[in-house]
């Protein structure tokens, strides 16, 4: 039989509500404790040079990478992508509820400080920030890094908010090697480009070989540095101006590319989203 219980820190702050049996804690409770231990031991402060922003208390978690402060400001955690919850036009992505629950466990009720890596607002007026706890209830917890380390999200960079990418990629690599969180699921493993649904709209990691630059690609605009064919498929990669170096990548070299596939196109927004795996 399970009994309700609460996990609290030394100050009495409620960490999580769990269920325990007569013999001790459940697996869920043990996982929460492990997560918080890692937060206390491994949370480095964000890098120097970030602009300190608002402080506030987290009152709501929208999904695995979006939270709301008590002043009403919605915050999109910078440089990561958590699985999406269900929307009117799409089902929830695998691990979406677990990612949301992890951020809720870490953040709800905590006093936090925002740190801006560049651009401060997106087109929805959400703050784009790194978020650190600042309430004296233990060591500071850097949410962006910890979520990646626990496999609740993947790195997704944009050139105007990419400060701290080295630390974030290191956290993601740790989770990938340990197969934590979403990395334990086959759906999130890098896939050969031939296995993709070209009509899909999911952010993911793809193994591909670049074909030639297409000089007169249909629909290209001023935001594209180039459009490249993908060897062996009808797909193309739209390379943003920020990632223009990828236009010079050798044809037939194998790359791991991260981006969102939509309508037979993969959108490449950052040079670090294309990592060479094998030269031609």
Largest CA-CA distance found in the chain, in angstroms, rounded: 69
Asked if residues 13 and 137 have their Cβ atoms less than 8 Å apart, the reply is: yes
Residue with the bigger pLDDT between 2 and 186: it is: 186
Residue with the bigger pLDDT between 1 and 251: it is: 251
Share of the chain above pLDDT 70, in %: 79
Of the pLDDT bands very low, low, confident and very high (cuts 50, 70, 90), residue 46 is low
Of 247, 197, 198, the C-alpha closest to 225 is: 247
CATH level 2 (architecture), domain 51-184: Beta Barrel (2.40)
218 pLDDT more than 80: no
Find all residues with CB under 8 Å of 114, minimum gap 6, and list them.
Answer: 52, 53, 54, 55, 75, 127, 129, 130, 131
14 pLDDT more than 70: no
Residue with the bigger pLDDT between 96 and 261: it is: 96
Q: What angle do CA 8, 41, 74 make, to 5 degrees?
A: 65
What is the mean pLDDT of the segment spanning 140-163?
Answer: 96
DSSP run (H or E) holding 167: helix 165-178
Q: Distance (Å, rounded) from C-alpha 93 to C-alpha 260?
A: 14
Residue with the bigger pLDDT between 19 and 127: it is: 127
What's the whole-model pTM score? 0.82
* pLDDT at site 263: 82
| Domain regions of the chain by residue span | 51-184, 190-278
266 pLDDT more than 70: yes
CATH fold, domain 190-278, is OB fold (Dihydrolipoamide Acetyltransferase, E2P) (2.40.50)
207 pLDDT more than 90: yes
The number of residues making up the chain comes to: 280
* pLDDT at site 198: 62
* pLDDT at site 255: 96
Find all residues with CB under 8 Å of 224, minimum gap 6, and list them.
Answer: 217, 238, 239, 240, 241
């Amino acid at each position: 039989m399970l009994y309700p219980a609460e996990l609290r820190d030394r100050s009495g702050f409620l960490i999580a509500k769990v269920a325990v049996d007569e013999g001790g804690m459940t697996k869920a409770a043990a996982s929460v404790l492990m997560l918080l231990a890692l937060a206390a031991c491994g949370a480095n402060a964000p890098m120097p040079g970030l602009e300190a922003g608002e402080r506030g208390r987290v009152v709501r978690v929208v999904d695995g990478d979006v939270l709301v402060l008590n002043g009403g400001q919605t915050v999109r955690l910078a440089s990561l992508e958590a699985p999406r919850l269900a929307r009117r036009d799409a089902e929830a992505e695998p691990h979406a509820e677990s990612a949301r629950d992890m951020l809720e466990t870490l953040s709800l009720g905590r006093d936090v400080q925002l740190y801006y890596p560049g651009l401060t607002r997106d087109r929805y007026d959400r703050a784009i920030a790194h978020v650190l706890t600042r309430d004296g209830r233990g060591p500071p917890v850097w949410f962006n890094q910890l979520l990646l380390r626990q496999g609740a999200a993947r790195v997704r960079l944009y050139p105007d908010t990419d400060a701290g990418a080295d630390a974030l990629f290191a956290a993601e690599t740790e989770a990938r090697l340990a197969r934590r969180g979403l990395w334990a699921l086959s759906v999130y493993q890098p896939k050969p480009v031939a296995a993709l649904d070209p009509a899909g709209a999911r952010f993911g990691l793809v193994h591909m070989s670049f074909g030639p630059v297409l000089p007169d690609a249909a629909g290209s605009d001023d935001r594209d540095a180039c459009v490249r064919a993908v060897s062996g498929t009808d797909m193309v990669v739209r390379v943003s101006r920020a990632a223009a170096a990828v236009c010079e990548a050798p044809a037939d070299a194998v790359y791991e590319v991260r981006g969102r596939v939509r309508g037979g196109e993969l959108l490449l927004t950052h040079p670090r989203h294309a990592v060479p795996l094998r030269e031609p």
